[in-house]
Amino acid sequence: MTGGMNNASDIMTIDLDLHRARVAAAAVLDPEIPVLTVEDMGILRDVCRDADGTINVVITPTYSGCPAMTVIAMEIETALLKAGFDKAQVTLVQSPAWTTDWLTDQAREKLRAYGIAPPEKGAASASKRALFAEDHVACPKCGSDDTERVSEFGSTACKALYRCRACREPFDYFKCI
């Protein structure tokens, strides 16, 4: 991401306002997984300034129908307004398609601590093709690999429901896509 630097590549000065805007946007939390910021999730793609001075925040949806995107866009606009940017807009881009590989390492740890098994890194493309494949997931509570899938679909589009056979606890798994 190049948001911290001025867009004009011939001027190598750091745009402090743009940096502040970026920090404000990046701190917005995902409403459905409130321990992760939009930056942790990898859905914040760019923060730039348009010719007329408007701050443009570019985000990408996790899933085509993710209902959180509207709320996220509103919260980013609110965060920028609070930071003093009254001219701001949020743009939604589809391409390149979001993948769980964009979740930062920090995000994976935050998820685990929150009780959600994080997606396996780099597994998004590997698991893509297999027709009857099932991910092997470690329990976020006790760490055991002896887990089973209860349902491929869970409380939100990005999660599946699992159960740990060792500690008997049910848990959410953040699916690889």
Q: Which is nearer to other proteins, 115 or 170 (CB)?
A: 170
Starting at the earlier edge strand, list the strands of the sheet with 116-117.
116-117, 170-174, 159-164, 147-151
Neighbours of 133 (CB within 10 A): 10
* Per-residue contact flags (x/-) with other proteins for residues 7 to 36, judged by CB under 8 A: ------------------------------
Q: Which of 4, 6, 31, 63 binds other proteins (CB under 8 A)?
A: 63
Residues 6+ apart with CB under 8 A from 86: none
Do 128 and 101 form a contact (C-beta atoms < 8 A)?
A: no
Query: Is there binding between residue 102 and other proteins (CB under 8 A)?
Result: no
Binding range to other proteins, per CB under 8 A, among 4-12, 37-45, 57-65, 166-174? 57-65
Q: Which is nearer to other proteins, 34 or 132 (CB)?
A: 132
Amino acid at 30: D
Query: Is there binding between residue 123 and other proteins (CB under 8 A)?
Result: no
First to last CA, the chain: 21
* Residues contributing to the site for other proteins (CB under 8 A): 61, 63-67, 93-99, 128-129, 131-133, 150-155, 157, 161, 175, 177
